[in-house]
Structure 1
Amino acid sequence: MKKILSVIVVSLLVLCSGFAQGSKASSGTNGKAMPYKIGIMTATVSQAEEEFRVAQAMKVKYGDMIIHQTFPDKAASEQETTISIALSMASDPMVKAIIFNTANEGTAAAMDKVRQKRPDILLLAGVPNEAPDVICASADLVFHPDVANMGLQVAEAAYKMGAKTLVHYSFPRHMAQPLNIARRGNMKAACEKYGIAFIDGTSPDPMSDAGIAGTQQFILEDVPRKVEQYGEDTAFFGTNAGQQEPMCKAVYESHALYPMPDNPSVFYAFPGALGIEVPENEKGNVAFMKDAISAKLALKNMNGRMGAWSAPMHTMFINCAVQYAMEYCDGVFTNRADYDEFTKIFSAFAGGDVSVRKYVDINTNKQYDNFFVVLGKFITF
């Protein structure tokens, strides 16, 4: 009898030990126990659908290993809420990394508060809305699209598409911003190299009295005028989000060229401009969107006349940031801002070499060793 009781007691102890171990590990993909969790903060679905859906896809892929929270819609005026959300994630001892993408106002302050309580947590900031010196002082690693060198990429893409003219739409407020100035300068210089006529086009500022509607109406009317003036082999680029959908639509109808939007994603401008209906089960599906865009362009003999990045910006940034955080937590590398690992992960995801460089401040020429800027792989549809 004593022997039977001993076996029962030992069995119960083993079971209890198993439950205790289970409480210390998160459930990852296929129910596999994971030794850590990763937090992701994105905009809400109404503010930035692509990044929200990518984060949700990460949760589906990795299960409870991923914690997904969202910034408040009015992040600039609700920074205390951002801090509170970040601290709530950091209060879980299994959270070993937090990714902020897009890193809205208040991210640096939130990181500082997290750092005070949990210095072990890896803190990553994608597409920050705060000044480089502010966010770089708080984050372990910051990453952003390479806006300045995108000017070279747009001009090269236009050249490969056969452009004879490139129209660059902007307005004074945007052209007072250093990165926009640098992108335009690079674009103009590259156009001169390729023998492409560079034309400045000024559209109404969407923050002026005309509003977004005024900007969009101008673009819809002016693109056909420019095509009539310069011919169908005219490429168009705009610096503002409000310009993109009407520009894409007008280019499509005018049989002109659209090398890429300012945010070179297949999810950006194309669906609305081309009238692409996206089923609920295909939202966030890059392959579906590429095929749908190509099919629409084929209807007007427009294949090869529009382009984007092979991997949409936010899709690439969040997927790669999660992979980077996992490899760091797994001990694959120890440098929190590892340039070589970052470049390897991003290039593999994009399906080819991705240009990565350390950010150099346009105004001060200061190089930030923990701020990497990314130029994705260009494709045509």
Structure 2
Amino acid sequence: MKKYLLMFFMFVFSLFSFAANPDYHIGVVSGTVSQSEDSLRGAETLTKMYGSTENGGMVTHVTYPDNFMQEMETTISQIVALADDPKMKAIILVEAVPGTVEAFRRIRAARPDIILIANSPHEDPDIIGEAADLVTNPDNVARGYLIVKAAKKMGADKFMHISFPRHLSYELLSRRRNVMAETAKDLGMEFIDVSAPDPVSDVGVAGAQQYILEQVPNWLKKYGNNIAFFATNDAHTEPLLKRISEDGGYFVEADLPSPTMGYPGALGIKFTEDEKGNWPKILKKVEDTVVAKGAAGRMGTWAYSYNFISAIALGDHVRKVIENGEDVTDFDSIVESYNKFTPGAKWSGSNYTDVNGVEKDNFYLLYQDTYVLGKGYLNMTDEKVPEKYFKIK
């Protein structure tokens, strides 16, 4: 861990410089601290690295409204307005919320020279793929296999999938669930489906979390401690982690893994200003807390936040495209940028293939190696996902 911390410091120190009066600008769009803190912090870090256009630098950073579903036209207008800058050469959506497709279509009509990148898209994969030059997203299909395989490696012989109908109506989440079920069967593990309250239903977040807090002890009593839990919703993750740390069971990683996803609230961890955005320090603090609670080897995460790193890595990648003429869809170049900002971790992935078996050349699904707290990396990026799992719908 100390080695990775030193590498991170040395690398970040080398980044905070930018050319005065650059020939082009990059637009980056993120949520606010209340809606998507990791996305915001990543965009802010990218801005610090290359400088704000307001101060003669390269990056223009804007945030979309917290109520982006209700204020979609505002979101669209904010994205489109970036194209009014004649120096704008690329626009990155750190989290491509609804409205991104329409915004990209309008930009494409007026400024076809601008490179459009959508990360973590909320809209239909086929539609966003047509609107953007590059789409990146966590690899929910491969992770369907890898998360269950990791649970087996950690010592689990049962796997519980916790979700609700709204989430399972999303293609990639539904496919991941089906891949998980098939993987569990192939590995000789019992697969258990649980439908939990939707946090946006009448029970709200508090009710949904209370359900998890009450049920985990019952599930452990019924199925034993060699069970791994997975929840598709962030609101369920925090109470799940709390109970697992206290009572037993396994947790491989969250739906969108990060040391800050669920762990701080579940374990009472507070981060100083010096620690925020410093992922090796954050990981160490979370790991030390988990170990102190006697849960070493039973709980995992990704060492670096996906959306935070995506903001920086995609900014780095698009610079290579603009300055060096690299292909925006060059997978090796994309992974190189992700690896560059995550010392100690490894990334892998593949093209997105839709339910009809059509591979999308500009849409990549990515995943980071699983880090088991108190144990280290599981080397899941070295695992080859059997082809049959990519064909499961």
TM-score of the superposed pair, with normalisation by structure 1 = 0.87
**Distance in 2 separating the partners of 1:42 and 1:352:** 24
Query: Does residue 38 of the first structure (1) align with residue 31 of the second (2)?
Result: no
Aligned partner of 2:335 in structure 1 is 343
Aligned partner of 2:363 in structure 1 is 371
**Distance in 2 separating the partners of 1:142 and 1:298:** 37
**Distance in 1 separating the partners of 2:130 and 2:290:** 45
User: Cα deviations across residues 302-349 of structure 1 (Å, max 9, x unaligned)?
Assistant: 11211112322102211211111110111241x332233223323444
Q: What amino acid is the match of 2:370?
A: F
**Distance in 1 separating the partners of 2:281 and 2:16:** 24
Q: Answer yes or no: is the 8 Å Cα contact 1:83–1:113 preserved in 2.
A: no
More divergent stretch after superposition (284-293 vs 47-56): 284-293
Aligned partner of 2:45 in structure 1 is 57
Q: Answer yes or no: is the 8 Å Cα contact 1:311–1:349 preserved in 2.
A: no
1:31 Cα deviation after fit: 5.2
**Distance in 2 separating the partners of 1:116 and 1:233:** 55
Query: Among residues 320, 336, 343, which one is paired with 2:313 in the alignment?
Result: 320
Aligned partner of 1:196 in structure 2 is 189
User: Cα deviations across residues 224-283 of structure 1 (Å, max 9, x unaligned)?
Assistant: 111122222221111112211110111111132111111111121111111101112322
**Distance in 2 separating the partners of 1:91 and 1:46:** 28
**Distance in 2 separating the partners of 1:185 and 1:126:** 24
Q: What amino acid is the match of 1:343?
A: V
SS in 2 for 1:75: coil
Query: Among residues 237, 241, 244, which one is paired with 1:244 in the alignment?
Result: 237
SS in 2 for 1:80: helix
Identity %: 37
Paired residues in the alignment total: 352
Query: Among residues 219, 231, 236, which one is paired with 1:226 in the alignment?
Result: 219
Relative contact order, higher structure (CA 8 A, sep 6+): 2
SS in 2 for 1:47: helix
User: Cα deviations across residues 155-196 of structure 1 (Å, max 9, x unaligned)?
Assistant: 111111111222111223333333222212211222223332
Flag structure 1 segments of 5+ consecutive residues without an equivalent: 1-27
**Aligned positions of 1:74-223 closer than 5 A:** 74-223=67-216
Structure label with greater radius of gyration: 1
Aligned partner of 2:9 in structure 1 is none
Aligned partner of 1:253 in structure 2 is 246
**Aligned positions of 1:4-43 closer than 5 A:** 29-30=16-17, 32-33=19-20, 34-43=22-31
Q: Answer yes or no: is the 8 Å Cα contact 2:32–2:65 preserved in 1.
A: yes
How big is the alpha-carbon RMSD for the aligned residues of Structure 1 and Structure 2?
1.9
Q: Answer yes or no: is the 8 Å Cα contact 1:141–1:371 preserved in 2.
A: yes
**Distance in 2 separating the partners of 1:106 and 1:209:** 26
TM-score of the superposed pair, with normalisation by structure 2 = 0.84
